[in-house]
Amino acid sequence: MSAAFDAHALARLFVETRAHRAQLDSLPAGLRPGHSDEACAAQDATLRALDAAIGGWKVGAKSADGPIQGAPLPASGVQPSGARLAMSAFGRAGLELEVAFRLGRRFEPGSGPYAEEEILASIESVHAAIEIVASRFAAWPDVDKLWQLADLQNHGALIVGDGVPYDASYPFVAPVMTFEYDGAPLFDDTPANPAGDPRRLLAWTVNHCVSRGHALERGTVLTAGSYTGMAFPKAPGTALGRIEGLPPVELHFA
C-alpha cells in the first residue's frame, strides 16, 4: 500500500456520503486507490467505520475465465425477501437477479487455502436474491473500476429469498427465471451469468476472505453475479424474481 493512500479517510468519506445520501464527483488526491489491495483496504476500513459485521460477500467476473472481484457486505444490508426499502436511499438504484449461496460452516481467518471441492461441500443452501446496486459516485457507472471496488463494489443492499438444500445437479449455468417490476418484465434476453457457472467464484471468495484476515461465519451469504443485467426502475414499486427450483424473492421499493 502506498504511503500516499489513506484508506481510513476514504472510508470516512464513503460513510459520510452514504449517510447524507449525497454523491461524489471525484476523489481527492490521497484517497484514490492505485491497485486492488488499496481498494480492499478501503472496503475493510468502511466496514469498521460503519461498525458493521459482515453478513455476506458479493463476487463477480466479466467472463467465464476472467478475473474475479468481490466485496464484503454489511450485515444490515442483507435483508430477507419481502423487505420494504426507501428507493430514495439509493440514488440511481440498479436491480439484478442473482443466485446466492449460504455457507454451512465457519472458515477461520488466516486458514486455507481451500480446494473447490471443500468449498462446495460447505454450501448449506441456495437462494434467489435481488441485488440493489448503488454508487457513491455521481458519474457511475462511468467511474474508475478501482474506485467502484473500494466502494464495496457498488453495494446498495441484498435481498435474499428462502433457500433450498444445495444440489450439485442444479442447472446453475442456465436456470429458468423471470424478473418483474410491478408485473412488467425487466429483461428480454435469455438469462446468463457472464462468469458462467457461478460456483467457480466461491473458492476464490472464501480464500480471498480468509487471506484478508476475515472469518466466514456459518450462515454467510455469497452472491455470485447477475443473470439478468441491471434494470433501473424509475418509481416505487415491487420487484419479483423467480428462479425455477428456488423460492421467489421480492423487494418493495417505497
Q: Does 225 have pLDDT greater than 60?
A: yes
Q: Does 115 have pLDDT greater than 80?
A: yes
Place of cell 425487466: 186
Say how far residue 226 (Cα) sits from the centre of its chain.
10
CB within 8 Å of 169: residues ≥ 6 apart: none
Q: State what percent of residues in the chain have pLDDT above 90.
A: 93
CB within 8 Å of 252: residues ≥ 6 apart: 82, 83, 84, 85, 237, 238
pLDDT grade, residue 189 (50/70/90)?
confident
The average pLDDT across 211-239 equals: 95
The per-residue pLDDT for range 125-168, each reduced to its tens digit, is: 999 999 999 999 999 999 999 999 999 999 999 999 999 999 99
For residue 3, what pLDDT is reported?
Answer: 58
Give CA–CA dist 8/116, Å, rounded. 33
pLDDT grade, residue 91 (50/70/90)?
confident
For residue 221, what pLDDT is reported?
Answer: 97
Q: Does 4 have pLDDT greater than 90?
A: no
Domains of the chain: 53-253 (3.90.850.10)
